[in-house]
Chains A and B, each alone.
Chain A
């Protein structure tokens, strides 16, 4: 059985390298699908740029003549706001048609009979779709830089820690987006759930308003949730001029959330797929 029978084009089992190439192809497919509708691509770019310009204007106006509000420097607040807007474009896109679309058309049945597991396939597609937001985010970021809205990281070490932190944040965002997609196994319709989640997460992750400016009870509560690890933690590290133990702790908490949510997502997926295999596609 191990050797390919005559006339057979595929092996009895796929190797790791082949599997990895398959996943890459999934990501590439999802990436290309994002650029199919040219108008949507352009409106994405324009929307992202507009958002960066607007948050910059708003925060400049909020500060007015003051250089510091609630102990936060004006430059830091604007840098944070612009980065927050850019990050949200990639982390919390309007894309929920990877798993959701497959569920609605019933194509999910085919996904569970592929030589690759459906979870890595879905995640690869999600990552591809998220990566497709990069051009829009990049242009928005460029505009922010041109307008002088963006300062360099608080220190060289902050920059390094930020790079790691934003990766963890991205992972976290992907896991959470995946879990929202799984809701569709029970409801068959996730666009509503996704819109609510998106609004909630933009607020609670600190992408819209930094947690610094929230009343203590609210920021305290939100920092106990995994959402703040998506955006607020990396951006706080970015503007932090003196990283230290607290930076390591913040990174540790992010890693912990990644772990906990990955396990939760796996459990949820097991239940979802059981639903599929027991009740049919």
Chain B
């Protein structure tokens, strides 16, 4: 179980001095700028749960994960992972957690992939038989046989990422942190990694905290999401209610030969038109709490001559984009 309470992380950097000799004066200056990367974050991930941790770049996701893994010491707040305060007892914590940071690798670059696993098994004091069984199973699941003896520096990104996943899970830690495990991968590689994570969660009951910019990762893996921006939690709850809470609207797209500029429909609101072939596509949105879908369609079709009509619900991706954009607008 991962438990974080009122987590705060501040970074301070020297203030840059403007004007003449700014370089030297900045170097000598003792003034500091303090920024809060994580601001009062509380979150709990229960045993066997997969939680998606989302937010735009620079929102504080990685900083949170680094604190949870014990790499970073929080400015204030409390963390417990499997009953251990990570930064106070890094070594005991290390035996409970595995981590994949998609942007960097924990593998030893000069040697064949196999050697990295060998070394990790020794570092974690794995029994030889357990190690072989674990490794064989992973190699099989992730189809890694063909490149086990290739040096890590020659692996493709997808192969390396599979290697990193196995490195993080070889000793079957109860808690797994995955920071962008699918970044830069092609569709097939992404699906393979998703399936693997889901499988480990199902069979081993692994607790997973996952950050990603690919919403499909979340839709396939996580029932619950936590959204963070500017260091603060904006949403913590299940994926389904995220949609109803942040995007109550439904959309209707109609194809019409012409759309008058001053078109007004009672209820559904025209949000945009764009040309498509000889016709125009007009998008209306409405709140199903206020007006039912048949009524909305009926009002649109009576106001406008349409040749085709489709209705769609906003996807999670739209919802999250909206949340990020709202955040940007506030800044």
Contacts and interface: CB of A to CB of B under 8 A. Distances in A.
- What's the interface size class on A, roughly? 35 or more
Nearest to B121: A25
Identify the interface centre among B66, B110, B126: most chain A CB within 10 Å of its CB.
B110
Contacts of A5: 174
A15 interface: yes
Interface stretch (B24-32, B100-108, B137-145): B100-108
B124 interface: yes
A275 to B, nearest CB: 11
Contacts of A22: 122-125
A84 to B, nearest CB: 30
Interface string B92-124: 111101010101111011110001001100111
Contacts, number: 118
Identify the interface centre among A21, A25, A113, A115: most chain B CB within 10 Å of its CB.
A113
- What's the interface size class on B, roughly? 35 or more
B130 interface: yes
Interface string A1-45: 100010111111111001101101110010011001000000000
B325 interface: no
Contacts of A32: 111, 115
10 contacts: A7-B172, A13-B91, A21-B122, A22-B124, A24-B122, A26-B123, A29-B111, A33-B108, A280-B66, A281-B104
The 6 closest A-B CB pairs, nearest first, are A25-B122, A18-B125, A110-B106, A106-B104, A115-B94, A33-B110
Interface of B: 11, 63, 66, 69-73, 83, 87, 90-95, 97, 99, 101, 103-106, 108-111, 115, 118-119, 122-127, 130, 134, 151, 171-174, 204
A19 to B, nearest CB: 8
Identify the interface centre among A18, A121, A280: most chain B CB within 10 Å of its CB.
A280
Nearest to A125: B108
Contacts of B71: 109, 112-113, 276-277, 280-281
B92 A12 contact: yes
B119 A109 contact: no
Given A107-B106, A109-B71, A113-B90, A10 B122 contact: no
A21 B125 contact: yes
Contacts of B172: 7-10
A193 B115 CA distance: 30
B10 to A, nearest CB: 10
A25 B119 contact: yes
Given A9-B172, A107-B104, A113-B99, 4 more contacts: A9-B171, A25-B119, A26-B119, A113-B69
